[in-house]
């Protein structure tokens, strides 16, 4: 296949203002956004499928793909309209190519390739996790690397060192479940609707921290996490009570679980800050919306003379503005260059 996009990409690197049209479809949100110079969101359109998947208690991949397909074209039109620009003014097309659900990713990737070809604009392949980090660049206009990042989403839990916009190093990660997954499973056993994280967050506020849930001690000396033990402990607790016909308070379970998990995240992040001497920690991913995590991490960082940054709530969960933001830095640094043979990748390295 003819490699025509790379030349365009290289020509753009030194252009003063860059307008990027970004597409995100890795899970159950179809999103298109127009972002100027990595920080200024000209439009941010999201079509959430949460109500559809709630009926099934989680995301059904085939249904997600079909709904992305039905939504994407209109979202593109709407994103241009709200940004008040014509397709000609776009400098490059950015798209999440992984990690995520294969069928869901393919919808975004193929739409982006079609646009890139028809508009003759360079294509930028974006790693979804990098996008989540960049959601903070939109919210905190002066934020610059280096900093630590706590990545907490439905698929990832990790502490990263971000030494530059496109330089990431993993310092620790979960050895089993992602923290968002644990929130969702605990919510499910408590018969709360999908997605469970926000439901646990709400319910915990009226509960007491009176049940002793713990996380594994074996990772204590590392920056790694394990959440499958506490998830199973909560499930067993509920099943046990149900079998014995004993009453239990859902709010107390939510509160006790959330306290334990947020303590663990806070203590490992503050340790990483002390180890690396980095004073800023930036939170990324859906669980970053958790109110208890926000409180504890802000207090924990302050205690050691640091500061915790969170994205504005609407940029915590999946959106395309964050993809447009990181794509700008990819472009400036000369990475992420893609051609029309780009394909989706369900799993990718950091």
Q: Interface with ligand KG4 by CB under 6 A: which residues?
A: 27, 153-155, 180, 183-184, 195-198, 201, 285-287, 289-290, 317-318
Going residue by residue from 315 to 344, which x/- string records binding to Zn ion, judged by CB under 5 A?
---x--------------------------
Q: Closest CB to Zn ion among 153 and 226?
A: 153
Choose among ligand KG4, Zn ion, none what residue 287 binds, the Cβ cut-off being 5 to 8 Å by kind: ligand KG4
Q: Closest CB to ligand KG4 among 195 and 306?
A: 195
Choose among ligand KG4, Zn ion, none what residue 196 binds, the Cβ cut-off being 5 to 8 Å by kind: ligand KG4
Give the H or E element holding residue 206: none
> Among the residues of the chain, which ranges form H helices?
5-12, 50-54, 61-83, 102-119, 128-139, 179-189, 196-204, 228-243, 250-276, 291-303, 313-316, 321-333
| Site stretch for Zn ion (CB under 5 A), options 17-25, 233-241, 313-321, 328-336 | 313-321
Among 25, 49, 127, 153, indicate the residue that binds Zn ion (CB under 5 A).
153
Alpha carbons 117 and 110: distance in angstroms, whole number: 11
For 227-252, give the secondary structure using H, E and C. Answer: CHHHHHHHHHHHHHHHHCCCCCCHHH
Choose among Zn ion, ligand KG4, none what residue 122 binds, the Cβ cut-off being 5 to 8 Å by kind: none
Q: Closest CB to ligand KG4 among 227 and 237?
A: 227
What residues form DSSP beta bridges with 124? 94, 337
Shortest Cβ distance from residue 238 to ligand KG4 (Å)?
Answer: 18
Please say whether the beta carbons of 23 and 107 come within 8 A. no
Q: Closest CB to Zn ion among 122 and 311?
A: 311
Choose among ligand KG4, Zn ion, none what residue 290 binds, the Cβ cut-off being 5 to 8 Å by kind: ligand KG4
Residue nearest to Zn ion (CB): 318
Q: Structure tokens of 272?
A: 């990483």
Q: Structure tokens of 8?
A: 């365009």
Q: Structure tokens of 345?
A: 């990748």
Shortest Cβ distance from residue 197 to ligand KG4 (Å)?
Answer: 2
Size of the site for Zn ion (CB under 5 A): 2
Smallest Cα–Cα separation from 322: which of 109, 180, 131? 131
Q: Closest CB to Zn ion among 286 and 306?
A: 286
Q: Closest CB to ligand KG4 among 154 and 207?
A: 154
| Angstrom distances, CA of residue 77 to CA of 18, 43, 137, 291 | 20, 11, 25, 35
Going residue by residue from 108 to 147, which x/- string records binding to Zn ion, judged by CB under 5 A?
----------------------------------------
Alpha carbons 265 and 133: distance in angstroms, whole number: 17
Q: Closest CB to Zn ion among 196 and 207?
A: 196
Smallest Cα–Cα separation from 285: which of 47, 37, 26? 26
Q: Footprint of Zn ion on this chain (CB under 5 A)?
A: 153, 318
């Amino acid at each position: 296949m003819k490699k025509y996009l790379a030349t365009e990409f290289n020509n753009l690197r030194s252009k003063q203002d860059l307008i990027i049209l970004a597409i995100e479809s890795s899970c159950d949100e179809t999103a298109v956004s127009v972002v100027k110079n990595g920080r200024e969101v000209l439009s941010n359109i999201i079509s959430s499928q949460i109500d559809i998947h709630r009926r099934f208690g989680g995301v059904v991949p085939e249904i997600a793909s079909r709904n992305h397909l039905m939504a994407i074209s209109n979202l593109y039109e709407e994103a241009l309209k709200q940004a008040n620009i014509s397709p000609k003014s776009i400098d490059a097309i950015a798209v999440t190519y992984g990690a995520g659900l294969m069928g869901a990713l393919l919808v975004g990737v193929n739409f982006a390739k079609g646009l890139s070809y028809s508009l003759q604009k360079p294509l930028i392949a974006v790693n979804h996790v990098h996008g989540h980090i960049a959601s903070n660049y939109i919210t905190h206009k002066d934020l610059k690397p280096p900093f630590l990042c706590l990545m907490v989403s439905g698929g990832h839990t990790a502490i990263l060192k971000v030494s530059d916009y496109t330089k990431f190093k993993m310092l620790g990660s979960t050895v089993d479940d992602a923290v968002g997954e644990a929130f969702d499973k605990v919510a499910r056993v408590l018969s709360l609707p999908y997605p469970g994280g926000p439901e646990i967050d709400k319910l915990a506020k009226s509960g007491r921290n009176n049940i002793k849930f713990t996380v594994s001690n074996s990772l204590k000396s590392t920056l790694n996490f394990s959440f499958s033990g506490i998830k199973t402990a909560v499930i067993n607790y509920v099943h046990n009570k149900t079998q014995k016909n004993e009453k239990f308070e859902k709010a107390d379970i939510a509160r006790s679980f959330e306290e334990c998990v947020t303590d663990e995240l806070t203590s490992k992040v503050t340790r990483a800050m002390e180890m690396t001497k980095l004073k800023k920690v930036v939170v990324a991913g859906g669980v970053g919306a958790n109110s208890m995590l926000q409180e504890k991490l802000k207090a924990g960082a302050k205690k050691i003379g640091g500061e915790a940054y969170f994205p504005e709530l609407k940029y915590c969960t999946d959106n395309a503005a964050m993809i447009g933001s990181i794509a700008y830095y990819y472009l400036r640094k000369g990475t992420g260059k893609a051609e029309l043979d780009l394909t989706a990748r369900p799993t990718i390295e950091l």
